[in-house]
Amino acid sequence: MNTNSQNPKTGKDFEIAVKAWFEAQFNIRFENNKPFSIGTPPKPHRFDVVSEDNSIVAECKCYSWTETGNVPSAKMGFVNEAVFYLSFIHAASTYIIMKKSVHKRRAETLAEYYFRTNRHLLGDTKVLEYDVEQNIMREIGQ
């Protein structure tokens, strides 16, 4: 179990793993924490993983079910916030990348739950689930 002091490192490690997966998949370079100006008036926002040509922009969420199998409700709000920021990026493919999280009390992963309950907010943004241990990325909702 991670303590709160380990959470930033765990999230950063997840972003680095996602970046490496994207680089291998698309055979181009990606950057972590690349700023884009969004909104009116424009204000910079740093996105987690961005291709060197800015054609792919992703936000990473390394969340899991609670220990008892409940939804981490506050964290789901942060996913929605990331979807909102991505909605300002029009000339790119946009993704929410969620760490694969299963729980014995749940019939679906956390990413599947998020997609099922929030798909109306996604627009063109796709939800991907990354299994870090298996190095497998899959699109949710396909």
Q: Please tell me the distance from the alpha carbon of residue 125 to that of residue 86, in angstroms, as a whole number.
A: 7
Q: Is the pLDDT of residue 102 over 60?
A: yes
Q: Is the pLDDT of residue 4 over 70?
A: no
Query: CB of 58 within 8 A of CB of 48?
Result: yes
Q: Which CATH architecture has domain 4-139?
A: 3-Layer(aba) Sandwich (3.40)
pLDDT score recorded for residue 6: 57
Tokens of 81: 């916030």
Q: Please tell me the distance from the alpha carbon of residue 55 to that of residue 103, in angstroms, as a whole number.
A: 34
Helix orientation angle between 110-118 and 73-86, rounded to the nearest 10 degrees: 60
Query: CB of 28 within 8 A of CB of 49?
Result: no
The one-letter code for the residue type at 77 is: G
pLDDT score recorded for residue 10: 85
What is the reported pTM? 0.91
Strand partners, 49: 32, 58
